[in-house]
Chains A and B, each alone.
Chain A
């Protein structure tokens, strides 16, 4: 920029303005090129990240004989036999049974988690009582605790109660809010709700229970939905729990049933294993596609882990 008087500044100013147009155009052009590079890089990265899932899907159409023979992605003789084969199930248990078991456990887990976490969260966020500080700190502490320290005593306890090989050890903890992440998530959500409404309700004579059921509960629906979806997915995927507690094949949820296929792969066929793996993931992938906004935003805002 010129530092001289306005007299000569004016023509110079004009000159710059004239000059600027090609510069601007060049800049826009560069920006477009940058955007294209950006898009190509990300698209390539997406392809790499999603490749295992694409591979899994396509592999379900490979005849078992092609595994190890045809390393390519596309099967030489595509077939849907794998799906027909796996419907029969394994170890005398039909496939639908594993799905039903998994669904039952996951649905019960969702109900339990929502019930117990919402109650605990309301107490932490809205009720002032002695010891709340220490208890809240303890709840946060359990977030960081490696849960392996409790699985042995828990197993001994459930074994003494003769609850091994039932679903109780998998479902009961959910009704007791052991998944502190969801308590924390709902606490944060309740804290963001203005207190005016509670106070108005209080003046009208509503106690904590009324306030909880008629004011807070309807307002925390988004947090409840996020908790429900995550609980469902985590329970559906859980392997260690059913590995410890469920012994009879007809009670197996999918992850443990998958292990049966997996252990047999050396002797029996690989196509079936791949098909069941895909079918076991399918409900979660559908959930993800339908609720991705809820899930991803839930992670972003609360620091919740996938």
Chain B
């Protein structure tokens, strides 16, 4: 079930330890024997966990703490970090129009692109769920873009498709709409990037489809007997039954969308242009951190991103009580 992850997160979040964990062994001999056994279990457990622990401490937790420290410094990789207090953050929000623009376009991309992508995913999943036979081929075809969408090859194709007199322009001019290229157009390059995200609707669609297959048919039949039309059936049966899957998809897609990098970098040749309209948060972070070697500033940017993502996750978890239903929950 795709909801298991959400549940694991929810419960781990609330109680500090996941509910899904296996029960403790029931064999409880003497207190001393138990102690010895527990100690041996703990030793074995940490041996199994050793590679992960080294990775977690050395490549995740340690670096996180170090980058928190760097966020308050000026650092260029070659001289010692110089502590400058909150200067990086002040500079971000008051002295760096490029940063503000980068935040704006990233928010537009995330907050408009993700709902469209999920709506498309849900609509197509419902369409596929209409019939069982023959839908496997379509399911696979729709999923393919999700697998390759973040690759450099696809970014190159996308730029070609939306270039001046490219295939998209040609199709539109057939309907009398003249665009003249999306890639160089300040107003259209962001919609183009959103379309690239929406094109990858397959992954959430597959998850929705698995959720739809688990909605009991009787619920729809009961709703029909009560005279519910298709809209009412969606509102009163499909949506509540799928709400945990919607929550899961929304959380992951939002977080992923913030981290779009390769396609924007390739499409703009690393410039973030035209006029900064593809200068997404991570592209700008890369430029500041690795092209200009302003690593303290880039670390501060990264921490702002972590905080924003944490706030969005917190809001989603807070509001989920009012709209997310878990199967078997009578609340």
Chain A's nearest CB lies how many Å from the CB of B214?
A: 11
Known: A176-B55, A259-B152. 19 other contacts (CB 8 A): A38-B131, A39-B134, A42-B138, A55-B161, A73-B167, A116-B51, A136-B18, A146-B306, A149-B64, A149-B302, A152-B298, A153-B62, A176-B51, A178-B56, A239-B151, A240-B262, A262-B266, A270-B160, A301-B210
Evaluate contact between B166 and A280: CB separation under 8 angstroms: no
B190 on the A face (CB < 8 A): no
- CB-CB contacts of B49-73 with A at 8 A, as 1s and 0s? 1111111101111111011001000
State how many angstroms separate the Cβ of B56 from the closest Cβ of chain A: 7
Is the beta-carbon distance between B54 and A150 smaller than 8 angstroms?
no
Q: Is B256 an interface residue (CB 8 A)?
A: yes
Q: Is the CB of B58 within 8 A of A176?
A: yes
* Chain B hits for A177, CB < 8 A: 51-52, 55
Residue on A nearest B75 in the bound complex, by CB: A156
Residues of B within 8 A of A141 (CB): 12
Whether B41 and A127, one on each chain, are in contact in the complex, defined by CB atoms closer than 8 angstroms, is yes
The 10 A-B residue pairs with the shortest CB-CB distance in the complex, in nearest-first order: A133-B17, A176-B55, A306-B146, A303-B2, A129-B45, A153-B63, A123-B48, A120-B52, A137-B12, A129-B42
Interface check B143, CB cutoff 8 A: yes
B295 in contact (CB, < 8 A):
yes
- Contact check, A301 vs B59: say whether CB atoms are below 8 A apart: no
Majority DSSP secondary structure for residues of A touching B: helix
Minimum C-beta distance from A188 to chain B (A): 6
A46 at the interface (CB under 8 A from B): yes
Segment touching A, from B91-99, B223-231, B282-290, B321-329 = B282-290
The interface on chain A, measured as residues whose beta carbon lies within 8 A of the other chain's beta carbons, has a size of 106
Determine the chain A residues whose CB is within 8 A of the CB of B273 once the complex forms.
none
Task: From known contacts A133-B16, A146-B258, A278-B153, infer whether A128 and B45 are also in contact, taking CB-CB under 8 Å.
Answer: yes
Instruction: Count B-side interface residues using an 8 Å CB cutoff.
Output: 112
Interface 1/0 per residue, A32-76 and B, CB below 8 Å: 000100110110011001111101100100000001100111000
- Is A84 in contact with chain B by the CB < 8 A criterion? no
Is B320 interfacial (CB-CB < 8 Å)? no
Chain B residues positioned under 8 Å from A191 (CB to CB) = 20, 22
User: A240 touching B261 by the CB < 8 A rule?
Assistant: yes
Contact with A along B232-254 (1 / 0, CB 8 A): 00000000000000001001100
Q: A132-B45, A208-B48, A277-B157 are in contact. Are A138 and B70 (CB under 8 A)?
A: no
- Distance (whole angstroms) from the CB of B183 to the closest CB of chain A: 12
CA distance A124 to B149 in the complex (A): 32
B192-216, CB under 8 A of A: which get 1 and which 0? 0000000110110011011000000
List A contacts of B203 (CB < 8 A): 299, 305-306
Chain A positions within 8 Å of B144 at CB level: 49-50, 53, 285, 288
Which B residues lie within 8 Å of A212 (CB)? 48
* A144–B145 alpha-carbon span in the complex (Å): 23
Instruction: State the CA gap A139–B200 with chains docked (Å).
Output: 27
Point out the residues of chain A lying under 8 angstroms from B210, CB to CB. Answer: 300-301
